[in-house]
A = this chain, B = another copy of it.
Amino acid sequence: MSQDAPKVDTSLSDGVYARVRDLLREGELVPGQRVSEADICSRFNVSRTPAREAIHRLLNEGFLTAGSGGRPVVAEIDIDRAEEIYDMREAVECLAARLAAKRARTNDLLDLRRILDEQRDGCENEVDFLEINDRFHGCIYRISGNRYVQRTASILLVSAGMIRGSTQGQYNYDSWSLSEHEAIYRAIENGDSAAAEEAMRRHTRNGRFQRIALITNQKER
C-alpha cells in the first residue's frame, strides 16, 4: 500500500552492525570497553567476515574508536565529543526540517501525526520515549528526501543517544519534548521551512544544553 517497501534483505553484516549499534545504545557495551572480532563472532554466531565489516563501519562512523594498537573500543563520549555531536546534529537536523517542510505530502504528515499521538498517549517510560523520539526524527529524515541527511543524521541521533548512556535516569523526557515536536510538526504542516528550521534549532539546542549540563554535573560529582 505505502510506497516504501522496507527492503529487509538485510545482509548479515548489516544485521550485525545494527545489533551492535543497539547494544551501544542500550549501554550493554560501555565506553572504553574493548570490542573484539571474537566478541562479535561468538555473541552473534557469525564468522569473522560480517563481524569485521560491522566493526569497520562502526569505526568509520565514530561509534568505536581505535584504542591501543588500533584495536577497537567503544568511543568515550566526553564533553568534547558531545559538543561535536551536537554541533553537527544542529546543522543536519535543521537542514532535515527545512527540507521536510518543503517536501512533505499528506501521507508524510499523517506519519508524523501518528508518531506524535503515540508520544502523547503511549509514552510510559524513558525507553518508550527514546524509541518514539527516534521514530519522529527518523521520519523527518526520510521526508527530507536527502540520502546524505538520512545517513548522517541517523548516526548522530544514535550517537546522541549514547550520551544518555552516561547520564541514565537523570533525564526527564516528557516535560519539553512533546511541545517542541508539535511546533516542528506545525511548521512542516504549513510548509514553512524557515519556521521548521527554527523550531528544530530550538529543539536540538534545548536537548543539547540539558545533556551537556548533565555530563558536567556527573563529572563533578
A60 touches B62 (CB 8 A): no
Q: Which of A39-47, A114-122, A146-154, A203-211 lies at the interface with chain B? A: A146-154
Q: Is the CB of A62 within 8 A of B94?
A: no
- Determine, out of A29-37, A84-92, A170-178, A184-192, the stretch whose residues face the partner at the interface: A84-92
How many monomers of this chain does the complex have? 2
Look across to chain B and name the residue whose beta carbon is closest to the beta carbon of A83. B146
Q: Are A146 and B84 in contact (CB under 8 A)?
A: yes
Candidates B88, B91, B147, B155; contact of A84 at CB < 8 Å:
B147
Note all chain B residues with C-beta closer than 8 A to A145: 84
A172 to B146, CA, bound (A): 28
Interface of A is mostly: helix
Chain A residue total in the interface (Cβ 8 A): 29
Contact with B along A109-138 (1 / 0, CB 8 A): 000000000000000000000000000000
Beta-carbon contact of A85 and B148 below 8 Å: yes
The residue from B62, B87, B148 contacting A88, defined by CB atoms under 8 A apart: B148
